[in-house]
Structure 1
Amino acid sequence: MPTVTVPALGRTVVPMGYNLWFVLNGAKDQPARADELAQVTLGAYRAAYESAPAGNRAPLVVGNHFNDWSGGGFARAVEESMG
């Protein structure tokens, strides 16, 4: 899978829920941060989507484990970005 830039962090990561969870909070269960984690993840997915036409036009690949880690923020970000 390609990497995407997480604008809130200024670094790249493989766009999968677990990978984002790990770089954002060390994969600690923090349901109280679900909204924040969802917004940061959604920002990464949107930035990747918006940069594809200006870059190499490769397909955007997003991996999701369909888990409710840290209150479900990562699953919510996938659902919202696909909408």
Structure 2
Amino acid sequence: MRSFDRSLGVAVKYTVSIEIALPREKVAQLLADPAHLPMWLRGVVLHEPLSGVHGQVGTQWLIVYSAEPGSPDHAAMLTLVSARTGDHRD
């Protein structure tokens, strides 16, 4: 994923990994439904689609999150630049 902070004018590339103790099929169902994003994106306050189709490369959305309770909210525009399917264990 890449985030773009308009106030700084920079793009940041990062990867997030998380282990989920559920069958792969169930995880795929949960990830396919944007309503479940707060379950795996900690601190999400708002997830607003901007363009594209959820889960497809090129999709953009606005995400607002709080790093910790009581701290100011942060916002970023995210673009999905890669989507892998299957078993990608390293």
TM-score, L = length of structure 2? 0.22
Which has a greater percent of helix?
1
Q: Greater relative contact order: 1 or 2 (C-alpha under 8 angstroms, separation 6 or more)?
A: 1
Which has a greater percent of strand?
2
TM-score, L = length of structure 1? 0.23
Q: Based on CA coordinates, which of the two structures has the bigger radius of gyration?
A: 2
